[in-house]
Amino acid sequence: MKTLLNTCGLLLATAPFFMSCSSEDPVEQIATKERQVKTVSDQRPGLKPIGSGVMMQAFYWDVPAGGTWWNTVRSKVQDWSNAGIDAIWLPPATKAQNGALSMGYDPFDYFDFGKYDQMGSVETRFGSESELKNLISAAHGSKLSVIADIVINHNSGGQSEFNPVSGKNYWTKFQPKSGRFIRTFEDFHPNSNYQSDTGVFGGFPDLSHKQVRVQNELWKNPESVAKYYKNVIGFDGWRFDYVKGFEPWVVKDWKNEVGGFTVGEYWDGNAGTLDWWSGQAEASAFDFACYYRMRDAFDGNNLNKLKDDMLWKRNASRAVTFVTNHDTNEIYHGKMLAYAYILTHEGYPTIFYRDYEEWLNKERLNNLIWIHNNLAGGSTNILYTDNDEYIAKRNGHNNAGLIVYINNANHWQERWVETNWSNTRIKDFTGHSGWEPVTQGGKWVKIQVPPKSYSVWAPK
């Protein structure tokens, strides 16, 4: 899905040190079942396992036109890999109705990656087919997987033709220059087999996925869209756009046919609904429940909202967490706090290109990526929350785990917490605090956090 939003980036402010002791109330513990993010079994040799690090959304809405974007991303993949990224998510890569101006969400020719002169251009907004292949090759050389954004709910740019089922004309005659997946009204809603199965998205005709021919052309045939993306262009996984527009079995069948990491955009803030969809599709889902709870917590100044239900709390192996994407940017004032949250908690976190490259402190984000990849293992216990404090513990999985302390107040705070470590010196791996306390024999220790900031504690 696509939305054009005004966005801004705010760096966290620092303030002089001063102490404000919080009350030492009994901690509230909310345990979550230990889960590990799944990795795909059919990855190309030599790539980092997807889910072992962090995903980069390698675009934003209205990236520069002119065919330069693939080369821009190519120049960054090695640095991203060095920072701990394990996969990059690219925008829809094939020719769309708006040609060289399109962000790709109005798909026309699924086999034109910037090769054919149609829709007013040869290249896509992002570049040529050869430049895309060079980018993917560079990403693979940097051990990164490449996730394709797949738009199969609707098509755009077809010619008008009469539909005898409805007795009306629709824009459903598609004759792309690639000569592949030529479409007529029978491939859309309604058609002679599914007369009542109608659907239109934004005025675009919706593909009829129950039609066997559509299934064959999209993912089943040896020369299908999915297999061409994977075997010829080199993509490794899939981000499905607007999965509310078709049934979960479509994503499941696609993934079972061609393999690869799979995540769907099911735009819904209800964690139960997301859990249902990911179970039916047997795929990951973007954790919109987590996104909306973070918005309420950090911009709404109520960190108690972080105790609410989220997909990662129900099934972390299926949750892809995010702070911002090309459609949404509602977390303004607490954006770094939100990144501290998703990069220390369960789920597979995503970083947004503009947050990383333009708007926020890259050094701080790299530090959180390192913390995620090296310390943030195991199940989660929420130790304390109030309006402006949040403390949680990761219990460790092949590592010592961590304690994250997030502070949305305008002053320093400190609190006693129970750790997993007895008689152990710990430190704040963010560098925000210079304390290096030793935990007591009973595993308790006092930790601190700066104003409008966070600290992450683990054995030194």
Any domain includes 266: yes
Any domain includes 441: no
Angle between helices 335-342 and 362-374 (to 10 degrees): 20
SS3 383: strand
How would residue 43 be classed by pLDDT, with cut points 50, 70 and 90? confident
pLDDT exceeds cutoff 50 at 2: no
Any domain includes 398: no
pLDDT exceeds cutoff 80 at 42: no
Cα 292 to Cα 322: distance, rounded to the nearest angstrom? 10
pLDDT exceeds cutoff 60 at 17: no
Q: Rounded to the nearest 10 degrees, how much is the dihedral formed by the CA atoms of 98, 102, 106, 109?
A: 70
Q: Worst-scoring range by mean pLDDT, 95-109, 199-213, 251-265, 338-352? A: 199-213
| 57, 351 contact by CB (below 8 A) | yes
pLDDT exceeds cutoff 80 at 202: no
Cα 248 to Cα 133: distance, rounded to the nearest angstrom? 30
Cα 69 to Cα 81: distance, rounded to the nearest angstrom? 18
Q: Worst-scoring range by mean pLDDT, 78-82, 96-100, 180-184, 201-205? A: 201-205
Average pLDDT value for residue range 161-180? 96
Cα 374 to Cα 365: distance, rounded to the nearest angstrom? 14
pLDDT exceeds cutoff 50 at 440: yes
Which of 351, 103, 136 is closest to 232 using CA atoms?
136
Q: What percent of the chain has pLDDT over 70?
A: 90
Any domain includes 424: no
SS3 405: strand
Average pLDDT value for residue range 397-409? 95
Residue type, 285: A
Distances (CA, A) of 301 to 161, 271, 314, 409: 54, 22, 25, 9
Any domain includes 452: no
How would residue 54 be classed by pLDDT, with cut points 50, 70 and 90? very high
Peptide bond into 107 cis (omega under 30): no
Q: pLDDT tens digit string along 410-423?
A: 999 999 999 999 99
pLDDT exceeds cutoff 90 at 23: no
| 456, 344 contact by CB (below 8 A) | yes
The Cβ of residue 273 has, within 10 Å, a number of other Cβ atoms equal to: 16
Per residue in 80-91, is it b (16+ CB within 10 Å) or e — as a string? bbebbbbbbbbb
Q: Which residue has the higher pLDDT, 19 or 97?
A: 97
How would residue 16 be classed by pLDDT, with cut points 50, 70 and 90? very low
Cα 397 to Cα 66: distance, rounded to the nearest angstrom? 46
Residue type, 377: G
- With tokens 């809603």, the residue in question is 189
Given CA atoms 182, 70, 120, 163 in this order, what sign does their dihedral have?
positive
SS3 145: strand
Task: Supply the pLDDT for residue 203.
Answer: 80
How would residue 14 be classed by pLDDT, with cut points 50, 70 and 90? very low
**Which residues, 6 or more positions from 254, have their beta carbon under 8 angstroms from its beta carbon?**
218, 219, 226, 238, 240, 262
CATH of the domain at 264: 3.20.20.80
The length of the chain in residues reads 460
Structure tokens at 39: 């990795």
Q: What is the mean pLDDT of the chain?
A: 91
Any domain includes 98: yes
* Secondary structure percentages of the chain, helix, strand, coil, to 5: 30, 25, 50
* Residue 327 belongs to domain spanning: 35-375
In 76-233, the DSSP E strands lie at: 85-89, 95-96, 107-109, 145-150, 159-163, 168-173, 200-201, 204-205
How would residue 200 be classed by pLDDT, with cut points 50, 70 and 90? low
Cα 359 to Cα 353: distance, rounded to the nearest angstrom? 9
Q: Rounded to the nearest 10 degrees, how much is the dihedral formed by the CA atoms of 350, 356, 358, 361?
A: 130
Q: Worst-scoring range by mean pLDDT, 6-20, 237-251, 307-321, 393-407? A: 6-20
The total number of structural domains that make up the chain: 1
Whole-model pTM: value is 0.91
pLDDT exceeds cutoff 50 at 6: no
Any domain includes 339: yes
Cα 289 to Cα 283: distance, rounded to the nearest angstrom? 17
pLDDT exceeds cutoff 70 at 13: no
Q: What percent of the chain has pLDDT over 90?
A: 87
Q: pLDDT tens digit string along 132-143?
A: 999 999 999 999
The Cβ of residue 363 has, within 10 Å, a number of other Cβ atoms equal to: 8
Any domain includes 436: no
SS3 348: strand
Residue 16 CA, chain-centre distance (Å), reads 35
Task: Supply the pLDDT for residue 39.
Answer: 37
Structure tokens at 306: 């972080």
